[in-house]
Amino acid sequence: ETGVTQTPRHLVMGMTNKKSLKCEQHLGHNAMYWYKQSAKKPLELMFVYNFKEQTENNSVPSRFSPECPNSSHLFLHLHTLQPEDSALYLCASSPGTGLYTGELFFGEGSRLTVL
C-alpha cells in the first residue's frame, strides 16, 4: 500500500460507545495530523504529532483521545461523543519536522455519524 490509509471509512456510533479511528502512512514522514471537516466550516486542526510526540492539541475536548505508537501509525480514540461530533475526520502526514513544512498528504477520511 502507498500513501495515507484510514480505517474505517464509515462509522456509526451511539453516544455511549467507544470506538477508534486508525491512520497509517507509508511515506516515511515524520509528522502526522488529525483534522475535522464539517459542513460549512473550514478544516479544523485537532492534533499534531512529530516523531511520535504530540506537539499540538488544538483545544480538543477530552472525549477525543489521540495515540501515536510510532511515526507510521496514528489513532483517534472516541468516547461518549455528541451528535455535533459527526463529521469527516481526516488524517494527514508531512515530511517535515516543523509544524507545517510543505505539502500535507491526506487520507481518504473516516465519515463518523454519532446518533
Partner 1 sequence: TQLLEQSPQFLSIQEGENLTVYCNSSSVFSSLQWYRQEPGEGPVLLVTVVTGGEVKKLKRLTFQFGDARKDSSLHITAAQPGDTGLYLCAGAWPQGGSEKLVFGKGTKLTVNP
Binding-site member from 1, 16, 41, 62 for partner 1 (CB under 8 A)? 41
Helix (H, G, I), strand (E, B) or coil at 24: strand
Site membership for partner 1, residue 102 (CB under 8 A): yes
Q: What are the C-alpha distances in Å from 25 to residues 14, 17, 44, 88, 91?
A: 29, 27, 20, 18, 9
Q: Is 6 helix (H, G, I), strand (E, B) or coil?
A: strand
Indicate whether 59 belongs to the interface with partner 1 (CB under 8 A): no
By CB under 8 A, the residues from 74 to 93 that bind partner 1 are 90, 92
- Interface with partner 1 by CB under 8 A: which residues? 4, 40-43, 45, 90, 92, 98-109
